[in-house]
């Protein structure tokens, strides 16, 4: 049995509803791509706030 520990993807355990305005971000520090909301978005991978919003 193989357990994938990858935190990137849809199987993160959090269902992001379309009702919630989320934006896509990419971390400038580690290159992690993630969805975030609000003003103070920080990277879930390295906790850096040095993130870019993706258009
Ligand atoms: Zn990061």
pLDDT of res. 2: 65
- Distance in Å, CA 48 to ligand 1 centroid: 5
pTM of the predicted structure, to 2 decimals: 0.61
Rounded to an integer, what distance in angstroms lies between the CA atom of residue 43 and that of residue 25? 8
- Distance in Å, CA 21 to ligand 1 centroid: 21
pLDDT of res. 31: 97
Angle at 27 between CA 22 and CA 40, to 5 degrees: 50
- Distance in Å, CA 25 to ligand 1 centroid: 10
Within-domain flag for 13? no
Q: How many domains does the structure of the chain reveal?
A: 1
Condensed to tens digits (0 to 9), the pLDDT of residues 3-49 reads 666 555 555 555 656 677 889 999 999 999 999 988 889 999 999 99
- Distance in Å, CA 45 to ligand 1 centroid: 5
pLDDT of res. 10: 54
Within-domain flag for 40? yes
Within-domain flag for 33? yes
pLDDT of res. 38: 87
pLDDT of res. 14: 59
Cα dist. 54→1, 13, 31, 37, 46 in Å?
A: 36, 22, 12, 12, 18
- Its domain, for residue 38, covers 23-54
Within-domain flag for 32? yes
């Amino acid at each position: 049995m193989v357990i994938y520990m990858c935190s990137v993807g849809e199987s993160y355990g959090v269902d992001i509803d379309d009702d919630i305005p989320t934006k896509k971000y990419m971390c400038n520090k580690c290159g992690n791509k993630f969805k975030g909301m609000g003003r103070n978005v920080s990277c879930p991978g390295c906790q850096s706030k040095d993130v870019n919003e993706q258009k």
